[in-house]
Amino acid sequence: MRLGRRFAYRVASSVGSGKSWGPWSAVVLLAVLVSGCSQDTGGRVGVSGTVRWNGTPLQGGTIEFASADGGQLTGSMIANGKYSVPADKGLLPGKYTVRISASQETGAAPAGPPGPEAEMHKTKDLIPAKYNVDSELSVEVTQGGTGQFDFDLSDSK
């Protein structure tokens, strides 16, 4: 960034001295200053993709990426079949177990006296354990890779 400041100073002092830099000087100055402002992600990679359940986009749920050693865990909400984790909260290169969860209301409220519990609806897990608690899903994140991971899940055995 020191070179950028020195360059900016020379440009600014030359402009005031009557030298003509032309229209490209602003572009060059902007390019030099912006190049030093990129976000440092610490080597993390952003991940995103789609999740389909029985051929249709999963309307809502969660996705979780867990490293084998348990040292790294990140995730995202799934909405309309899409998820995204930005690079600053992303994954370091390596192998990860993927857990996808979603539930569905059964429509029936628990029987019993009126109260807070009576207003809650029963839910059931929509996604089988082989995709979450006992996940068989995994991905490998690579530096310079796209970070795009799509999952097409089904309830067939």
pLDDT score of 115:
63
Alpha-carbon distance 113 to 14, whole Å? 82
More confident residue, 8 or 136: 136
Tokens 């050693």 — which residue? 69
Amino acid residing at 32:
V
Q: For 84-126, what is each residue's pLDDT tens digit?
A: 999 999 999 999 999 999 998 776 666 666 666 655 667 788 9
**What domains can be seen in the chain, in order of their start residue?**
2-35 (no CATH), 47-153 (2.60.40.10)
Q: For 17-67, what is each residue's pLDDT tens digit?
A: 444 445 544 444 444 444 444 467 788 999 999 999 999 999 999 999 999
pLDDT score of 12:
47
The token pair that represents 30 in the structure block: 């902007």
pLDDT score of 120:
61
